[in-house]
Amino acid sequence: MLINLTVNGESRSAEAEPRTLLVHFLRDHLRLTGTHWGCDTTNCGACVVLVDGEPVKSCTMLAAMADGHEVRTVEGMERDGQLDPVQQGFIEEHGLQCGFCTPGMMLTARALLDRNPHPTDDEIRVAISGQICRCTGYKNIIASIRWAAEHSEEVTA
């Protein structure tokens, strides 16, 4: 079947079987490999992307279900050569070690800050609670998101 969706603001379409999961559609059909494919079982959250602005686990959504919707992946975070404040925060606060969970963590952070520009640490913890960092770098991830919340104006200025 032909699947049409908007990815990072661009209209994209590709043929795929109905059983194709969104994570594989993004990685294998559209060659956007920034979205990571982890546990396959809705647990780890490495595959989180934003669908209509909200985080979803793309291993547990059919690409067909995203037809007509807006998907945002880590490739769409940088704009006009300018890193998203969340990306800058992960650099400043050493928010990643191996980097496997990072795309999903950053997208969840983006969605959180879009709704709630000044979250508490507890709100940040809840927001990322469906995603696993196997390097256990949670403290720095929270600091990175906090950095983004505190510096969003100067980075985007």
Partner 1 sequence: MQVPAPFDYARASSIDEAIALLDRLGPEARLVAGGHSLLPMMKLRLATPEHLIDINPLESELAYIREQDGEVRIGALTRHRDILESDLLARHFAIVREAEEMIADPPVRNRGTIGGALCQADPSEDLSAVCAALGATAVIRGRTGERVLDMDEFHQGPYETAVGDAEMLVEVRIPVRERCGSAYEKVKRRTGDWATAASGVALWLDGPNVAAAGIALSAVNPTSVHSVGAEQALVGRPPSEQAFEEAAALAAEDCEPIGDQRGPADYKRHLVGELTHRALRRAAARALGA
Determine if 76 is a binding residue for partner 1 (CB under 8 A): no
CB of 137 to partner 1, least distance (A): 17
Cα torsion for 119, 120, 126, 128, to the nearest 10°? 60
Is 64 a binding residue for partner 1 by CB under 8 A? The answer is yes
8 Å CB contact between 63 and 20: yes
To the nearest whole angstrom, how small is the minimum distance from the Cβ of residue 118 to partner 1? 18
Q: Is 46 in the site for partner 1 (CB under 8 A)?
A: no
The residues with which 57 forms a beta bridge, in sequence order, are 48
Is 130 an interacting residue with respect to partner 1 (CB under 8 A)?
Answer: yes
Cα–Cα distance, 99 to 15 (Å, whole number): 30
Count interface residues toward partner 1 (CB under 8 A): 28
Region from 6-14, 60-68, 78-86, 89-97 binding partner 1, contact rule CB under 8 A: 60-68
Structure tokens at 46: 């490495």
- d(C-alpha 124, C-alpha 82), whole Å: 24
Q: Is 57 in the site for partner 1 (CB under 8 A)?
A: yes
